[in-house]
């Protein structure tokens, strides 16, 4: 059982939020709430929200706070979140953090920990531009650091691997800028609430060990 199970994963794009969510979920049945995944699903289904989000995401900009906070509030009220959750990529602004706090209060829940994955910019850009995702199951690979066994084929389900359009070098750079301007104030915000744990390690096994030591 986890000691801490209502979690936020924060970090710049490419910092490993998705990768370490998957590692934690292999062992613990938490609900995985990735606002990026929810938005990509809206785009796939060609909904009005998806069409609005697609323009912003392509430029590496953030989708408006009220929209993403509303999506997350709805998701948190679902049954599977009762056992705990990982918020991956949300909140991304202090306003979103405040809206989250209100939503959790209404649901009678509270946060247990905010994990900050701190990674140098050169590494982030190298990782983002070499990242590959599975079209079928969403698994994450990296051509340089975590390659699939067979080129462009998912190890888990055999699905085709692709590069996210916003992982191009140009958009990745804008997303990093957006992180420092709009998201990084959250680090201080959650530190002030004594919820923050920073991971500065870059080795996958060492990060995994630190994560489990903090949460289990
Ligand atoms: P991600 O998959 O978390 O890297 O998110 C991809 C893109 O979706 C971001 O660059 C934003 O355009 C949008 N997005 C995801 N989460 C949020 C959020 N919490 N607030 C605003 N925009 C978001």
Structure confidence by residue, pLDDT tens digits, 145-165? 999 999 999 999 999 999 999
C-alpha span between 140 and 122 (Å, rounded): 20
C-alpha span between 40 and 116 (Å, rounded): 23
Ligand 1 pocket: which residues have CB below 6 Å? Answer: 13, 35-36, 39, 56-57, 60-63, 68, 89-92, 96, 166, 175
Statement: residue 1 has pLDDT above 90? no
Contact (Cβ atoms closer than 8 angstroms) between residue 181 and residue 100: no
At 39 the pLDDT is 97
Q: What is the mean pLDDT of residues 84-89?
A: 98
**Residue 78 DSSP label:** S
Contact (Cβ atoms closer than 8 angstroms) between residue 76 and residue 85: yes
Q: What is the mean pLDDT of residues 43-64?
A: 95
Pocket-testing residue among 13, 36, 186, ligand 1, by greatest number of atoms within 8 A of Cβ: 36
pLDDT digits (tens, 9 = 90+) for 172-184: 999 999 999 999 9
| Full-model pTM | 0.93
Contact (Cβ atoms closer than 8 angstroms) between residue 131 and residue 141: yes
């Amino acid at each position: 059982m986890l000691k801490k199970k209502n979690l936020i994963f924060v970090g710049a794009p490419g910092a490993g939020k998705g990768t370490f969510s998957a590692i934690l979920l292999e062992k613990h049945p938490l609900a995985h709430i990735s606002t990026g995944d929810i938005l990509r699903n809206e785009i796939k289904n060609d909904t009005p929200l998806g069409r609005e989000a697609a323009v912003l995401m392509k430029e590496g900009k953030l989708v408006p706070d009220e929209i993403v906070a509303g999506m997350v509030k709805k998701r948190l009220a679902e049954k599977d979140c009762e056992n705990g959750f990982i918020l991956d990529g949300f909140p991304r602004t202090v306003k979103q953090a405040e809206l989250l706090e209100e939503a959790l209060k209404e649901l009678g829940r509270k946060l247990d920990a905010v994990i900050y994955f701190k990674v140098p910019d050169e590494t982030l850009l190298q990782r983002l531009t070499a990242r590959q995702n599975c079209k079928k199951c969403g698994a994450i690979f990296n051509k340089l650091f975590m390659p699939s066994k067979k080129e462009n084929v998912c190890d888990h389900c055999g699905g085709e691997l692709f590069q996210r359009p916003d992982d191009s070098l140009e958009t990745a750079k804008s997303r990093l800028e957006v992180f420092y301007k709009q998201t990084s104030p959250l680090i201080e915000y959650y530190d002030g609430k004594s919820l923050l744990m920073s991971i500065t390690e870059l080795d996958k096994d060492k990060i995994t060990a630190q994560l489990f030591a903090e949460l289990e």
